[in-house]
Amino acid sequence: MQGFRTELENPLVQKDIIELEKKIRLFREGQLHEEKFRSLRLARGVYGQRQPGVQMIRIKLPYGRMTVQQLYRISDVSDNYATGNLHITTRQDIQLHYVSLERTPELWAELEKDSVTLREACGNTVRNVTGSAMAGVDPEEPFDVTPYAHATFEYFLRNPICQDMGRKFKMAFSSSEKDSAFAFMHDIGFVPKVRFENGEEVRGFKVVLGGGLGSQPHIAEYVTDFMHEDLIIPFAESVIRVFDRYGERAKRNKARLKYLIQDIGKEAFLELAENERLALKNKIYKINRHIAFTEPEGNLLSVPEISNPAKYERWLKTNIFEQKQKGFVSIGIRVQNGDIKTPIARKFAQLVLDAAGDDIRLTNSQGIMLRFVKVENLPYVFEKLNELGLAEPGFESVIDITSCPGTDTCNLGISNSTGITRELERVIAAEYPELIYNKDITIKISGCINACGQHAMAAIGFHGSSMKIGKMVAPALQVLLGGGPTGDGGGVASEKIVKVPSKRGPQILRTLLNDYFDNRNDGELYNAYYTRQGKIYFYDLLNPIAKSDDITPDDFIDWEHTEAYKPAIGIGECASVMIDLVATLLFEAEERIDWSREALEAAEYADSIYHSYTGFVNSAKALLVAEGIKTNTQAGIIRDFDSTFVETKKIALPTSFHDLVYQMNQQEPGKEFATYYFQQSELFNLQLKDYRNLQLA
């Protein structure tokens, strides 16, 4: 693979891209271990697909915001390097599929020309910071959370404290207590609040902690009803530092923040976080509140004759949202399966230039929010969207089903989620057309238990599975009911009811909807109905559909397939796999120490200290791995290194390893301590490499 030169101005971006190219070359030459390479590329948004030899590229768009120029750039990149399709995710990212590994550095360089990054879109990092798509225009918001979400994104991007955690970490900002960003299902969730002190407005946030979906959903726990705006980023940094040190690293299914909090308790966790404050780079962090929006010109666009008046009226009722800015509305756009082809994307971008603000927002339901449209231009915008197939009524209604790519491209997909989505939407449109006005019943589908399609927080959820029937295996759907936001800043996880062959998904949906319409009380919402009837009621209702007495050959063929179903699950890459190779760990430690030196020379003392700390831990981990000792947490590594090497005098240190390492959170981050700590980490690494060489000799 020949090298390339990027013309990018940001030296950090240049370094990232050049490093990725170098590591790809080393990997291809057999000089870089596969698992180490996987960790590195995941942190740069490069994710192995189900299909061998190609990659999925995840583009990180903080809180789903994108300019017209960025949309043009991403479309060009998809045409040149991928398939000409843009896939919108529930985390407000865009994914490109079927990309050659060797071309990923060049692809990244092209994206960065318009400030679009791949950095930390995957892997054990702080993932995309998500936010309400109506933030800044929501009539119910206390204030615009956009600047706070943006500052959080910028602060943790490339931050040393979150480059190789035990697992991924997610944050969200909702615009109001309605919690449209689903703060309750995030590691940290923020909901804006306002107080008045001495007659002046003071901004802050309600904060929740430790939420998550996956195989064991957990609703985030309450921390405070009001945290001052200057404290939210320092608080998040403290939380991440504790998670990095004490979080599980070996057992991936127990490596999320929610499990650490469950293990030690919320109060003990918050006490550990408070103890980190002294070592923080910033004890308070003032956020620039002002992010400018580009409103469209005041001209009235030509008013066309409406081609489909009935559809237009439905669209006005279901897809239009009044903004707090007088005279403007936002338009919700349904995007089936989150997929939009680049020719459509480019025409849509031109429409944004003509009739909306240059502030496109992707939604966590895989749609698009078009903002700052003048009310009088709605007929024009409808006609243009309708020409593009983007004016379907029922935005975020029952018919607007959320789904992940499933077995189309994902290693972890068990059964098809995109085909069943299209079928269920067809059933609703044909048999329950009035449900385009119902935004209470949400339907979400994932290809596996990991909840990328958010099935665990849906009124009606499905996740891909399989079931053995006789000697054969059929694609299946696990049915879940009763989940979603409660509308008061909280949420409820859906409950598993029954597993059925995938081809019976439409029958399940019809049964659920008909039962609800026949038996609900006046004005009773779906989740209230589910709670009143109870889980056993719904098991009894659906279980006859799950029985295999009347199994047919079609039940063994997945949606939009022709061949018999074969269960095939690859190795998941939602986060990097732990590397138990001594030489690689020592190399990693040396690399972190080099980063510490660079940060020290740049007077980034807090960053230097954290890199040195990671150098200490990785060096110690290497020798523990060589002894066959478990290295599940960083705190455990520090403890076990003392008992295995220091107390037995195999390694001579001037003090305990515990006391040596934990100086990092007992000192203000200044030049003198950062220099001392770096030198100690470097000496420790050299000492352990000498010890390892003697072992091997």
Instruction: Concatenate the DSSP letters of all residues of 535-576 into one string.
Output: HHHHHHHHHHHH--TT--GGGGS-TT--SPP--------SSP
Q: Which residue has the higher pLDDT, 695 or 112?
A: 112
Instruction: Find, among 338, 332, 326, the residue nearest to 314 by Cα.
Output: 332
CB 89 within 8 A of CB 366: yes
88: which 2 tokens? Answer: 């919108």
* pLDDT recorded at residue 577: 36
DSSP tag of 188: E
CB hemisphere CA count around 58 (13 angstroms): 28
* pLDDT recorded at residue 581: 62
Q: What class, spelled out in words, does domain 130-279 have in CATH?
A: alpha beta
Q: What's the pLDDT tens digit per position in 647-693?
A: 999 999 999 999 999 999 899 999 999 999 999 999 999 999 999 88
Q: What class, spelled out in words, does domain 309-387 have in CATH?
A: alpha beta
- Angle CA 42–606–654, to nearest 5: 105
Q: What's the pLDDT tens digit per position in 95-127?
A: 999 999 899 999 999 999 999 999 998 888 999
Fold topology of 11-112:
Sulfite Reductase Hemoprotein; domain 2 (3.90.480)
Domain boundaries, the chain: 11-112, 130-279, 309-387, 412-556, 582-696
Q: Using pLDDT thresholds of 50, 70 and 90, give the confidence band for residue 493.
A: very high
* pLDDT recorded at residue 509: 97
* pLDDT recorded at residue 514: 98
Mean of pLDDT values over 329-338: 97
Written as one letter, the residue type at 651 is I
Question: Of 261-275, 423-437, 478-492, which gets the smallest average pLDDT?
Answer: 478-492
CB 530 within 8 A of CB 459: yes
Instruction: Find, among 276, 236, 209, the residue nearest to 154 by Cα.
Output: 236
Q: What's the pLDDT tens digit per position in 576-615?
A: 333 336 877 888 899 899 999 999 999 999 999 999 999 9
Written as one letter, the residue type at 313 is E
How far apart CA 401 and CA 386 sit, in angstroms, is 20
Burial of 291 (0-12, 13-18, 19+ CB in 10 A): middle
SS3 523: coil
- CA distances (Å), origin 688, targets 581, 592, 638: 15, 15, 14
Residues 6+ apart with CB under 8 A from 422: 336, 337, 559, 560
CB 33 within 8 A of CB 391: no
CB 609 within 8 A of CB 593: no
Q: Indicate if the pLDDT at residue 569 is higher than 80.
A: no
Helices (H) and strands (E) in the chain, counts: 20, 22
* pLDDT recorded at residue 60: 95
- CA distances (Å), origin 386, targets 118, 382, 432, 691: 32, 6, 22, 70
- DSSP track, 131-187: E-TTTTT-TT-SS--HHHHHHHHHHHTT-GGGSS-SS-B-EEE-SSTT-TT-GGGSS
Mean of pLDDT values over 384-413: 92
Element (H, E) at 97: strand 94-99
CB 558 within 8 A of CB 502: yes
CB 321 within 8 A of CB 330: yes
CB hemisphere CA count around 80 (13 angstroms): 14
The b-or-e profile of 334-343 (16+ CB within 10 A means b, else e) is: bbbbbbbbbe
Q: What's the pLDDT tens digit per position in 421-446?
A: 999 999 999 999 999 999 999 999 99
Q: What's the pLDDT tens digit per position in 371-385?
A: 999 999 999 999 999
* pLDDT recorded at residue 292: 65
SS3 460: strand
Query: Which position has the token pair 């509140």?
Result: 289
110: which 2 tokens? Answer: 């092209």
Q: Indicate if the pLDDT at residue 471 is higher than 70.
A: yes
- DSSP track, 302-345: P-PPPS-HHHHHHHHHHHEEE-SSTTEEEEEE--GGGEEEHHHH
* pLDDT recorded at residue 403: 93
Mean pLDDT of the chain: 91
Question: Of 33-42, 75-84, 629-638, 676-685, which gets the smallest average pLDDT?
Answer: 33-42
Q: Count Cβ atoms below 10 Å from residue 182 Cβ, excluding itself.
A: 22
* pLDDT recorded at residue 610: 96
State the pairing for strand pair 360-362/368-374.
Answer: antiparallel
How far apart CA 45 and CA 107 sit, in angstroms, is 11
Q: Which residue has the higher pLDDT, 1 or 201?
A: 201
CA 149 to chain centre: 14
Q: Indicate if the pLDDT at residue 5 is higher than 70.
A: no
Q: Indicate if the pLDDT at residue 250 is higher than 70.
A: yes
* pLDDT recorded at residue 298: 66
342: which 2 tokens? Answer: 């680049």
* pLDDT recorded at residue 580: 37
SS3 218: strand
How far apart CA 377 and CA 370 sit, in angstroms, is 13
DSSP tag of 644: I
259: which 2 tokens? Answer: 């499990």
Q: Count Cβ atoms below 10 Å from residue 303 Cβ, excluding itself.
A: 12
Instruction: Find, among 99, 17, 33, the residue nearest to 3 by Cα.
Output: 17
- CA distances (Å), origin 355, targets 66, 207, 384, 498: 16, 37, 10, 47
Q: Using pLDDT thresholds of 50, 70 and 90, give the confidence band for residue 294.
A: low
Q: Indicate if the pLDDT at residue 447 is higher than 80.
A: yes
DSSP tag of 124: S
- DSSP track, 74-93: HHHHHHHHS-SEEEE-TTS-
The b-or-e profile of 310-325 (16+ CB within 10 A means b, else e) is: eebebbeebbbbebeb
Q: Indicate if the pLDDT at residue 321 is higher than 90.
A: yes
CA 133 to chain centre: 15
CB 596 within 8 A of CB 681: yes
* Sheet arrangement for strand 402-403: 402-403, 443-446, 460-469, 472-481, 495-501
Query: Which position has the token pair 């008046």?
Result: 309
Instruction: Find, among 53, 185, 167, 59, the residue nearest to 114 by Cα.
Output: 59
How far apart CA 565 and CA 479 sit, in angstroms, is 20
What CATH number belongs to 412-556?
A: 3.30.413.10
Query: Which position has the token pair 């006609």?
Result: 383
Mean of pLDDT values over 221-243: 97
Per CATH, 11-112 and 309-387 having the same topology is answered: yes
37: which 2 tokens? Answer: 């390479």
N- to C-terminal Cα separation, the chain: 37
- Angle CA 530–531–537, to nearest 5: 60
Q: Indicate if the pLDDT at residue 275 is higher than 80.
A: yes
CA 675 to chain centre: 36
CB 84 within 8 A of CB 380: no
CB 169 within 8 A of CB 243: yes
Give percent of the chain above pLDDT 70.
96
Mean of pLDDT values over 59-78: 97
CATH superfamily, domain 582-696, is Nucleotidyltransferases  domain 2 (1.20.120.330)
